[in-house]
Amino acid sequence: AQSVAQPEDQVNVAEGNPLTVKCTYSVSGNPYLFWYVQYPNRGLQFLLKYITGDNLVKGSYGFEAEFNKSQTSFHLKKPSALVSDSALYFCAVSRPRQADKLIFGTGTRLQVFP
């Protein structure tokens, strides 16, 4: 069965510092991997996805994520955090060609302090 884990409930980082939000997955075959962001009382917004190709994926708002097959990880990163990045971040995984059957992690709350 496929699953995704976000081991940190909350990540705190100072503005201007790099940030990392961790995600590990379990899925048979080559996974499709996604990151979404949710601001308070809003729907989820797509940030980036990995389907195939370059392991480093760049997305919206300066975020990027690195697919690491040996570690089954897909950590979200940003070189310099902004206070406005404070939100809830969800990692999601699906089997190949089944992006309509996403499994979501439990979410990580990112708090960026000025």
Partner 1 sequence: SQTIHQWPATLVQPVGSPLSLECTVEGTSNPNLYWYRQAAGRGLQLLFYSVGIGQISSEVPQNLSASRPQDRQFILSSKKLLLSDSGFYLCAWIPSQGAGANVLTFGAGSRLTVL
**Binding residues vs partner 1 (CB under 8 A):** 32, 34, 36, 41-46, 49, 51, 88, 90, 92, 96-100, 102, 104-107
Q: How far is the CB of 67 from partner 1 (least distance, A)?
A: 15
Pick between residue 41 and residue 70 the one whose CB is nearest to partner 1: 41
Q: How far is the CB of 42 from partner 1 (least distance, A)?
A: 6
Contacts 24+ apart (CB under 8 A), 38-43: 38/87, 38/88, 38/89, 38/90, 38/107, 39/87, 39/88, 40/87
Pick between residue 10 and residue 68 the one whose CB is nearest to partner 1: 10
Measured distance CA(66)–CA(38) in Å, rounded: 20
